[in-house]
Amino acid sequence: MRLPAAVNSLLLRSSGVLIFLILWETAPRLAWVDPYFVPPLSIVVREIWLLLETGDLSRHLLVSSWRAVTGLSLALVVALPLGIILGRWLTGLASALEPLLRLLSQINPFAMLPLFLLFFGIGETAKVAVVTWVTLWPILFYTIIATRTVDPLQIKSAAALGVSRSEMLCKVILPAAVPTIFIGIRIGASLTFFILIAAEMLGAGSGLGWLVHNSAMNYLIPRIYAGATFIVLLGFLLNRLLLYIEASLSIWQGSQSGSPVAGQSRASSWRPDRGSAVAGTAILVLVLILGALEVRRLNQEALAGASSSSSHAKHFGTPADSSDGGL
Amino acid sequence: MAGVVDVPQQIQTDAKIVVKAITSVFHLKKTRTEPAREFIALKEINLEVKKGEFLVLVGPSGCGKSTLLDILTGLAQPTSGAVYIDGNKVTGPALDRGIVLQGYALFPWRTVRQNVEFGLEIKKVPKRERRAISDNFIHLVGLDGFADRFPHELSGGMKQRVAIARALAYDPEVLLMDEPFAAVDAQTRESLQDELLRIWEATGKTILFVTHSIEEAVFLGDRVAVLTPNPGTLREIVKIDLPRPRHNSDTRSSAEFGWIRRKIWELLQNAPHESRHHLNAVPVAEAISPTASL
């Protein structure tokens, strides 16, 4: 039994990971650790395979990805314009609001979770809202900083041509700010899964967090590890995808070559272009659409199966009210 | 503003640029050591630049030459007085003036070609024409083959050539240059100076060039306007009669060159006595340059 090739190549990229995996397999087998609590890798892999076969894993994967990407997108929609306005035009307001914003961003999202559940119920809104809340702050702060610190000389040389406000924004401020804004987006994205998994554990009927929590409630220990593995993978993949989009949007930064010698050919090195940025974004949009359909289907199923036990709940052998098991 | 004499929107003149009684006053805020006060960056500057002329403004830092250039660009408003281009009052930035700044100020996310085409995009020139024009100007500054490079792949001298091509590409009649060669090494600087004279002769633009280097001023200019600080006043305009075309190799070694350089140096040394008292206030003028907040 083998992992799919793509996953395999990702896992085996570094030898550290490889050693870790070997230890994971051998330590329980040699009884260095209790194999009941730490099942060897092969058992976890078989569990993953089982979950994949029934299609349950891909469903949870899709649902979790959808929640993460939706939350991230909403945070972008709110934080980017707000950050540009505060960083560029309403700088007075920005400095007045800054202590408040810093304070809000320091609120522990885990503490906010029950509140979100209280306000929005255990539906999708609460989970997406908490992800949005967490990712909003780094994106907002980095956008403010990025737009505030655009080189004044660049602004001056554009202003000297009498450019309009929108031209200044689209042709100077945004391109100059993109690399810094992306740092914020990636910090936000890495926080996304932490909070999403927690939210799914506290109140959900699907998603990787629910899978792990549900398995724990039912002492299905290999399944916990299978779910956790996929949570790690998902976070890793999202970060990779963002890095890829970022690299293709900021080819001009040339960080790879230490001494740029004029006239020397650099054609050999691969340069991501706008096309790959579009491709990366398309993947995210695809997750949004497919995930939305899946979530809608699941929620309808949950409604229909409110009287009888729902199909996947039955599969895991859990009580029908497992959806709010953590509360 | 109350108390300011009305200036006409248009004047009759043959000169390309007319600077008329420009005064620029900054209001310095109170600091821990000093009370609030007024700082006169420019005082009653009058200047005329003929069409196709190469005029150099020279003066020590803090004499208000950058402020004057900002006013010419339209990025700053004088406290009183006005600037006219072709007899029309300057009210804001526009595409009839090209600007080259000290720190290149290229857009690092744009290739050489895209940088050169920036002004053309603002001018809404169709894409195909843009390409022909940018090809032409990239060739003019000697950067053929570098059109698709990004600024970080270029040397300092090359970046400044791109900045010059960018300022020329949208065909302004006046080129305003603010210490453009201050950041490059001595050798590159001399070759850029030769290059600039060649481009000037080829395009026939009116150039107003700001520098603090007396040598550069004498070598480049038809006339050199000497500014002295505190307050920034136009001390004298020196006509440079050195024959053209000039080349760094022989022009600089001529006796006449040395003589003019000496004369300007003396003009700068014998600044009016009052300026000595305020020497420590000099950096303030730089710090409050109106474009610093842009």
Across A26-35, B145-154, B237-246, the highest mean pLDDT is recorded for B145-154
In a domain, B230, yes or no: yes
Q: Is the ipTM of this complex over 0.85?
A: no
| DSSP code for A171 | I
Asked if residue B119 and residue B80 are part of one domain, the reply reads: no
In a domain, B239, yes or no: yes
Task: Evaluate the CA torsion angle A147, A149, A155, A157 in order and state its sign.
Answer: negative
Measure the CA–CA gap between B38 and B45, rounded to whole angstroms. 18
Lowest mean pLDDT among A50-54, B72-76, B279-283: B279-283
**CB-CB contact of A280 with A245 (8 Å):** yes
Of the candidates B171, B189, B205, which is a domain's last residue?
Answer: B171
| DSSP code for B213 | -
Of B145, B157, B70, the closest CA to residue B112 belongs to B145
Neighbours of B131 (CB within 10 A): 15
Across A290-304, B28-42, B48-62, the highest mean pLDDT is recorded for B48-62
Asked if residue B90 and residue B154 are part of one domain, the reply reads: no
With contacts defined as CB-CB under 8 Å, which chain B residues touch A254? 150, 152-153
Q: What range defines the domain where residue A155 resides?
A: 38-250+274-299
Domain with residue A171: its CATH number is: 1.10.3720.10
In a domain, A263, yes or no: no
In a domain, A155, yes or no: yes
Helix (H, G, I), strand (E, B) or coil at B128: helix
pLDDT of residue A2: 58
Domain with residue B287: its CATH number is: 3.40.50.300
Q: What range defines the domain where residue B127 resides?
A: 106-171
Nearest-CA residue of chain A relative to B92? A162
State the virtual CA torsion across A245, A251, A256, A260 in degrees, nearest 10. 180
Q: How many CA atoms lie within 13 A of A97 on its CB side?
A: 16
User: How many domains, chain B?
Assistant: 2
Asked if residue B61 and residue B185 are part of one domain, the reply reads: yes
Asked if residue B160 and residue B145 are part of one domain, the reply reads: yes
* Alpha helices, H only, B94-213: 112-116, 118-122, 127-140, 156-169, 186-203
Q: Write the pLDDT tens digit of every residue in B101-115.
A: 887 788 988 999 999
- Model confidence at B282, pLDDT cuts 50, 70, 90, reads very low
In a domain, A222, yes or no: yes
Asked if residue B179 and residue B167 are part of one domain, the reply reads: no
Asked if residue B181 and residue B137 are part of one domain, the reply reads: no
- Burial of A78 from C-beta contacts in 10 A (0-12 / 13-18 / 19+): middle
Write out the two tokens for B219.
């070598």
Asked if residue B191 and residue B72 are part of one domain, the reply reads: yes
Write out the two tokens for B166.
């960018």
Measure the CA–CA gap between B210 and A290, rounded to whole angstroms. 61
In a domain, B164, yes or no: yes
pLDDT of residue A110: 79
In a domain, B24, yes or no: yes
In a domain, B136, yes or no: yes
Asked if residue B179 and residue B262 are part of one domain, the reply reads: yes
B292 pLDDT higher than 80? no
In a domain, A105, yes or no: yes
- Percent of chain B scoring above 90 in pLDDT: 9
Of the candidates B115, B148, B171, which is a domain's last residue?
Answer: B171
In a domain, A294, yes or no: yes
The shortest CB-CB distance from B105 to any of A153, A254, A260 is to A153
- Model confidence at B55, pLDDT cuts 50, 70, 90, reads very high
Nearest-CA residue of chain B relative to A264? B153
User: What single-letter amino acid sits at A157?
Assistant: S
pLDDT of residue B291: 46
Among B73, B91, B102, B109, the strongest candidate for a mutation testing the A interface, having the largest count of A CBs within 10 A, is B109
pLDDT of residue A232: 84
Alpha carbon separation from B49 to A76, B76, B167, B169, B207 (Å, rounded): 52, 20, 19, 22, 9
Yes or no, beta carbons of B103 and A153 under 8 Å apart: yes
pLDDT mean values, one per 10 residues, chain A (327 residues): 62 74 85 82 85 81 85 91 88 84 82 81 80 90 90 87 87 88 87 82 79 84 85 82 79 50 38 69 82 77 58 42 39
Asked if residue B193 and residue B238 are part of one domain, the reply reads: yes
User: How many domains, chain A?
Assistant: 1
In a domain, A62, yes or no: yes
The shortest CB-CB distance from A254 to any of B106, B119, B150 is to B150
In a domain, B153, yes or no: yes
Who's near B243: CB < 8 A, 6+ residues apart?
none
How many CB pairs below 8 A link A and B?
A: 81
Of B196, B199, B198, the closest CA to residue B209 belongs to B196
Yes or no, beta carbons of B74 and A162 under 8 Å apart: yes
In a domain, B9, yes or no: no
In a domain, B1, yes or no: no
Measure the CA–CA gap between A156 and A163, rounded to whole angstroms. 10
Asked if residue B65 and residue B185 are part of one domain, the reply reads: yes
Asked if residue B245 and residue B189 are part of one domain, the reply reads: yes
- B→A interface, C-beta within 8 Å: 73-75, 92-95, 97, 99, 101, 103-111, 118-119, 121-122, 146, 149-155, 158, 170, 291-292, 294
Asked if residue B186 and residue B82 are part of one domain, the reply reads: yes
Of the candidates B171, B206, B227, which is a domain's last residue?
Answer: B171
Q: How many helices (H) and strands (E) does chain B have?
A: 10, 10
In a domain, A175, yes or no: yes
